[in-house]
Amino acid sequence: MTDQAPPAYSGPRRVLSGVQPSGALHLGNYLGALVKFARLQHEVETFIFVADMHAITVWQDPKLLAGQVREITAAYLASGLDPKVATIFPQSAVPQHAELAWIFNCVARLGWLDRMTQFKEKSGKHKERSSVGLYTYPVLQAADILLYKATEVPVGDDQRQHLELTRDVAAKFNHDFEVPGFFPLPEALTQGPGARIMSLRDGSAKMSKSDPSDNSRLNLLDDADAIAQKIRKAKTDPEPLPATLEELKDRPEAENLVGVYAALDGRTSEAVLAEFAGQGFGAFKPRLADLAVAKLGPVSEEMRRLMADPGEIDRVLADGAERARAAAAPILAEVRKIVGFWGA
């Protein structure tokens, strides 16, 4: 007998992604995720949610959480997502996410979760005191994706490992329950210079909501002065910019700023270097600041306008939740049957 690969998934393409409402959104979230959502919605059926169930794996003030969900939604809309085209919803309003996550908790293996680097980073020295939810977080993420049989997941580079786990869960489910091709093996869409934006203070650390230094990131709600000042203060080196990416290899801060410029301008880093080769940061930084203000200014202005009308945001979320529940229900009903639950 020969080993044959199981039949591949043959359903339609679908995009799904989400962002946690756990702090101010920054340039990394915008370039690594949000701008891609807006682009993809016109090509493929797109589901974008606010990951509030993921957010509570670490403490969130209950008085603030719903407001944070609205803020992320405002950022989605301000960066071009159209609620008539994409389905935009809060994760916790679709209870099937939790139901499928439980089933996947029984499919995923402890050894797989033990390898997750994000849990190690987030739990630090206090593993025993971390919530169980923080540990099984990637399993919920697999459920988010597979509940809609999503085939493509636009995310930053830091989510690659979670996507690999999603594929492992899908493959094991298909195999163990003998339903080849039932779940797709989704791809992480991480192409482009925006997939890994680094801290403005340290080119070896990623730009992050949890960095204690606000100067390390450009927040989507920063005003023009703050953006210009943070870029002026960004760590660099005294060398001029080279002509090739190869020569930037050991200059992480310089490489990052070139990448930011490229991602904001919708160009490649090579094209940016072709324009700025030979120039120092004294010339490059003001140009980058102008570009960042021109691109981010309208986004933050639109976010503020939307946040002033929470009723409109809530209508978008309620409508999206209804559509998401309707899309999830038949898939979860099939899963219940496959697992053999009573009454399914």
CB of 215 to ligand TYM, least distance (A): 15
Contacts 24+ apart (CB under 8 A), 206-214: 206/28, 206/158, 207/26, 207/27, 207/28, 208/26, 208/28, 209/22, 209/23, 209/24, 209/25, 209/26, 209/29, 210/23
Q: How many CB atoms lie within 10 A of CB 130?
A: 15
Task: Check residue 149 for interaction with ligand TYM (CB under 6 A).
Answer: no
Query: Hey, which residues between 6 and 25 contact ligand TYM (CB under 6 A)?
Result: 16-20
CB of 82 to ligand TYM, least distance (A): 19
Nearer to ligand TYM, 83 or 192 (CB): 192
Task: Check residue 145 for interaction with ligand TYM (CB under 6 A).
Answer: yes
CB 256 within 8 A of CB 334: no
Task: Check residue 207 for interaction with ligand TYM (CB under 6 A).
Answer: yes
Stretch that binds ligand TYM, among 82-90, 102-110, 189-197, 294-302 (CB under 6 A): 189-197
Nearer to ligand TYM, 202 or 312 (CB): 202
The 3-state DSSP class for residue 218 equals coil
Tokens 């203070």 found at:
201
CA distance 220 to 191: 22
Task: Check residue 96 for interaction with ligand TYM (CB under 6 A).
Answer: no
Which listed residue (36, 125, 149, 206) is catalytic?
A: 206
Rounded alpha-carbon distances, angstroms, from residue 265 to 53, 72, 80, 194, 246:
34, 23, 16, 11, 21
Task: Check residue 136 for interaction with ligand TYM (CB under 6 A).
Answer: no
Task: Check residue 255 for interaction with ligand TYM (CB under 6 A).
Answer: no
Nearer to ligand TYM, 165 or 273 (CB): 165
Q: In 3D, which of 37, 50, 25 has the Cα closest to residue 296?
A: 25
CB 306 within 8 A of CB 74: yes
Task: Check residue 33 for interaction with ligand TYM (CB under 6 A).
Answer: yes
Task: Check residue 169 for interaction with ligand TYM (CB under 6 A).
Answer: no
Catalytic residues: 122, 206, 209
Contacting residues toward ligand TYM, per CB under 6 A:
16-20, 28-29, 32-33, 51, 54, 141, 144-145, 153, 155-156, 158-159, 162, 194-197, 206-207
